[in-house]
Amino acid sequence: MLSRIVRPMVRTQIRLLANTQATRSTLVATIAQWLSFLGVQAKVTELDAQSNQIRVSLTVGKPEACDDRDWKQILYNIDQAKESTDLSQLTPELTPHQERKVQRLLAYVIQIGDPGNPVDWDELQPQLQSLGFNGEMLLGVKAALKVPQSLDHLMDGLDAEVAAIALSKAVGIALLDRRVNPLEDKALSALLEAMKQPAGG
């Protein structure tokens, strides 16, 4: 199940990387997500402490889901763009309506993770922050958690690019407890199907 969902998501991220001036910092953030979801093989080439942080350098080969042309383009882009780049460059700009849709979708995935039990926001918030949720996204998800969400309603007219963004984050949420229950499986599968739809259709 997870392989069926995650592999297309990684292919989408690969294509986004190939079509942006991706810098080392952007790629490292993306690789970290691959590692957390897939166990991508990587070799640590440097490890040292700086202040109260640990710096890790990795060597990663071409992912299985990446074709040679995209991989060469990614390598070229890294060499061409040395400055820091925000990871948000890898995702399309969302309208306020699309942002709310993503927030409600993620709230739904949280709600079905342990149905029948209230969400402990104090426990959940740092977990979502560890998945890269920013302050605005956290506030939106928190607000959406206050009301029941309907998968059918949320999937109605969902744009493929928005589905791809939501799927990436939804997989991370579903894996917080190291398992995927049947309701989560259904939601992730629905997002995957929506992501496969041609633009505008």
The domain in which residue 53 lies consists of 2-86
> Taking the CA of residue 83 as centre, how many other CA atoms within 13 Å lie in the half-sphere pointing to its CB?
3
Do 80 and 115 lie in one domain? The reply is: no
Q: How many domains is the chain built from?
A: 2
DSSP string for residues in 6-27: HHHHHHHHHHHHHTTT--HHHH
- 177 located within any domain: yes
Average pLDDT score over the chain = 76
Average pLDDT over residues 27-44: 58
- 201 located within any domain: no
C-alpha distances (whole Å) from 4 to each of 1, 102, 189 are 5, 21, 9
Do 116 and 76 lie in one domain? The reply is: no
Q: What is the pLDDT of residues 59-101, one digit of tens each?
A: 777 766 677 888 888 888 877 765 555 544 445 577 888 889 9
Q: What percent of the chain has pLDDT over 90?
A: 17
Do 139 and 185 lie in one domain? The reply is: yes
Do 191 and 102 lie in one domain? The reply is: yes
Domain boundary among 54, 86, 118: 86
